[in-house]
Amino acid sequence: KVTVSVLYWCVSSCIATAYRPPMATQQPDTAGPGAGDDVDREDDFHYDEVAIEEDGAGLGDGAGGLGDDGLLDLGDDEHALDALVRSVQATKDRDAPPPVRADLTRLPVVVDDFIRNFLVKHGLLQTLDSFELEWYQRYGANPEDDSNLVPDVYLENARLVDRTAELERDVAKHREISRKAMTLWERVKKERDLHRMNHHRVMQEKSVLSKDLKRLQSHSLSIEPTVNELRQKYEQVQKEKMLLKLERDKLANRIQTLEENVRELEGPKDAGKTGKSTKSNAAGPAWPAENRPNPHLTSAAAKMPANAGSFACRQSFKAHAMAVTTVAVHPKKAVAASCSDDGTWRLSSLPQGEAIMSGEGHKDWIAGIAINPKGTMAATASGDKTVKLWDFGATACKHTCKGHTDGVWCVDFHDTGELVASGSLDHSTRVWDVVTGKCRQTLRGHVDAVNSVAWQPYSNQLYTASGDKTVSLWDARANFCAQTFYGHHNAVTKVAVPLRGDQLASCDADGNVILWDVRMIEQRQAFACGPHPANSVAFDKSGSLLAVASDDSTIKIISIADEKVSTLKGHEDAVQCAVFDMATNGFLVSCGSDTTVRYWS
């Protein structure tokens, strides 16, 4: 760039010198222009004498005339020098051809400015001083004579430098974008590899499952003849069983006929006695006496709480094909009765869970089951609107109690075992005679389904829990509602009374458990076991512990004295019922929607 600039400057100087008028040569003084400067000249410089035109055109009025020697007489006028400069400039402008100017597209730069900038940029200050001196000696103070401009190439170079810097910034920006894109691509690649690995794993599992399925299909085909054979044997056994039932019914009818004949033959002898007996039966059995003494109030054994802190699931067995709704413990033996949505009930030994007896007779689900205090009979409540009484000794249904107009939810035996109460979806509660199977009383007052019933021990008072968020206390003999307990904010699912009969517990669909004072008819304590519904609540033998069956597949054990709540885990689905053993107070039995019955001790 420096070489091109110097060459161009030299060419421009030559052109400018060629078009300048000739000047007279004279010997410079020893102290010429710039003698006072610090710049030393290595050789002398020759000046040409300037010839003045004779017509004196362009001189001002104050200028001197021409002398005898042909030179301009300057005289003493101070404007003579300006007049001389104007004359020389006019001659040069008239004789010189028009200057050649470059066709620039950007802001032009003069040659001398370009050279000065170049020397300053590179720190050539002495060269700059020499250039300034010679430039002034040659052209003086006439900047208009310097009309030579720097070509576009230099300006274009500067523009290209700026453009290059801008492109470098763009390149850096795009490099950053490329880096981010590369990072994103690496992450997507890793995710792709992960999904590919998961896909391979799923395909392997699918292959294993396909093999297992084929193996099971082949096994199913291999055992199909055996299943068909067993099915035929079962049908044959059922037919034989039906024939035996028919034969039994025939024999029972024959025995009944013979007994009637015997009574007819003996009729004349005992006519008076028979009349009195008939009159007594027509009046119906009497209600149990009121205010009978409660032996559990003074029993020391009834005051010992169960050691629920050490309870753990010791045994689990599948009792039914569908969800087990309710479980009841035999009052004297380690036996549990359970019922299910599959329409069956079962009597199982504990803790092994061996089947002792099962019953089929209901046409719909069974929601409630209870064992009478003597341990000889069970009552079941079903969705077919009936209550059935099952005699363990006869292994048959003794009575089918009909009267409800909708499904029956619950049943509970009176402490005498002579009465059984049932609650139904038809908003009513019925009291049945166990001996005759007839309805003794119908209690109406709830505005929603009756979900639970419980007798007050050693009295004729009955508690009912309803979907209308209330618990009611009934005088079953007089058929009126004595008290109503308010406090629940959702449907009450279960009500329980301890053996001592001095308090009452109820739970609702919000998971809240409330302990009531039955004498003051007010709330004593409340326990929050939610947010899942509490399906059942039961006292232990001492009345100091509560077992709450929750819909979150756990059993909550509540200590009433210190209000501590512990949790028993083991069920795989909602727990429908949990009850303590009232004989020994040493274990707990629960059932749930996972079709199992579990033994805790």
Q: What is the 3-state secondary structure (H, E, C) of 285-343?
A: CCCCCCCCCCHHHCCCHHHCCCCHHHCCEEEEEECCCCCEEEEEECCCCCEEEEEECCC
The candidate with the shortest Cα–Cα distance to 553, out of 533, 535, 529, 569, is 569
pLDDT digits (tens, 9 = 90+) for 147-196: 455 556 776 787 888 899 999 999 999 999 999 999 999 999 999 999 99
The candidate with the shortest Cα–Cα distance to 340, out of 301, 382, 400, is 382
The helix (H) or strand (E) run that includes residue 568 is: strand 564-569
Q: For the chain, how far is it from start to end, CA to CA, in angstroms?
A: 103
Tokens found for residue 284: 């119906």
Using CA atoms, how far apart are residues 451 and 467, in angstroms rounded to an integer? 7
| pLDDT value, residue 596 | 93
pLDDT digits (tens, 9 = 90+) for 244-260: 877 887 888 788 888 88
Q: Which residues are 338's β-sheet partners?
A: 327, 346
Q: Exposed, middle or buried: residue 96 (CB in 10 Å: 0-12, 13-18, 19+)?
A: middle
| pLDDT value, residue 164 | 93
Q: Are 565 and 529 in contact (CB under 8 A)?
A: yes
Check the CA dihedral 553-540-500-522 and report its sign. negative
| pLDDT value, residue 58 | 41
Tokens found for residue 427: 């908003």
Cα→Cα distances 543→71, 141, 301, 342, 567, Å: 148, 125, 12, 33, 19
The candidate with the shortest Cα–Cα distance to 516, out of 555, 479, 468, 483, is 483
Q: Which residue intervals of 96-151 are DSSP H helices?
A: 111-121, 125-139
| pLDDT value, residue 553 | 92
The helix (H) or strand (E) run that includes residue 259 is: helix 152-266
Higher pLDDT, 586 or 206: 206
| pLDDT value, residue 378 | 94
Going by their DSSP bridges, the two strands 324-329 and 313-318 should be labelled as unpaired
Question: What's the rounded mean pLDDT across residues 91-110?
Answer: 58
Min mean pLDDT across 25-34, 405-414, 460-469 is at: 25-34
Using CA atoms, how far apart are residues 315 and 353, in angstroms rounded to an integer? 8
Using CA atoms, how far apart are residues 433 and 81, in angstroms rounded to an integer? 153
The pLDDT-based confidence of 16 (bands split at 50, 70, 90) is very low
Radius of gyration of the chain measured on its C-alpha atoms: 61
Using CA atoms, how far apart are residues 401 and 378, in angstroms rounded to an integer? 13
Cα→Cα distances 105→93, 113, 153, 162, 490, Å: 27, 18, 11, 17, 91
Q: What percentage of the chain has pLDDT greater than the value 70?
A: 76
Using CA atoms, how far apart are residues 528 and 397, in angstroms rounded to an integer? 41
Cα→Cα distances 228→225, 237, 238, Å: 5, 14, 15
Q: Are 322 and 340 in contact (CB under 8 A)?
A: yes
**pLDDT at position 280 over 50:** no
Using CA atoms, how far apart are residues 222 and 342, in angstroms rounded to an integer? 29
Q: What is the largest CA-CA distance in the chain?
A: 202
Q: Exposed, middle or buried: residue 26 (CB in 10 Å: 0-12, 13-18, 19+)?
A: exposed
**pLDDT at position 591 over 60:** yes
Q: What is the separation of C-alpha 586 from the centre of its chain, rounded to a whole number of angstroms?
A: 41
Tokens found for residue 375: 């341990």
Tokens found for residue 241: 């069983």
Lookup result for tokens 């005759």:
436
| pLDDT value, residue 281 | 40
Task: Sheet with 428-433: list strands edge to edge.
Answer: 408-413, 419-424, 428-433, 439-444
Tokens found for residue 563: 């209000």
| pLDDT value, residue 65 | 46
Question: What's the rounded mean pLDDT across residues 525-531?
Answer: 89
**pLDDT at position 212 over 70:** yes
| pLDDT value, residue 92 | 66
Using CA atoms, how far apart are residues 514 and 495, in angstroms rounded to an integer? 10
Using CA atoms, how far apart are residues 341 and 332, in angstroms rounded to an integer? 27
Higher pLDDT, 593 or 294: 593
Dihedral, 27, 32, 33, 39 alpha carbons, nearest 10:
120
| pLDDT value, residue 24 | 39
Type of residue found at 73 = D
| b/e map 519-538, b = 16+ CB within 10 Å | eeeeeeeebebbebbbbbbb
Using CA atoms, how far apart are residues 507 and 529, in angstroms rounded to an integer? 9
Tokens found for residue 598: 């579990």
Tokens found for residue 191: 């995710």
Q: Are 81 and 74 in contact (CB under 8 A)?
A: yes
Using CA atoms, how far apart are residues 493 and 487, in angstroms rounded to an integer? 14
| b/e map 100-109, b = 16+ CB within 10 Å | eeeeeeeebb
This prediction's pTM: 0.55
Tokens found for residue 114: 């370009």
**Mean pLDDT of the residues in the chain:** 80
| pLDDT value, residue 267 | 62
| pLDDT value, residue 142 | 59
The helix (H) or strand (E) run that includes residue 161 is: helix 152-266
Backbone torsion region of residue 103, taken as left when φ is above 0, otherwise alpha when ψ lies between -120 and 50, otherwise beta:
beta
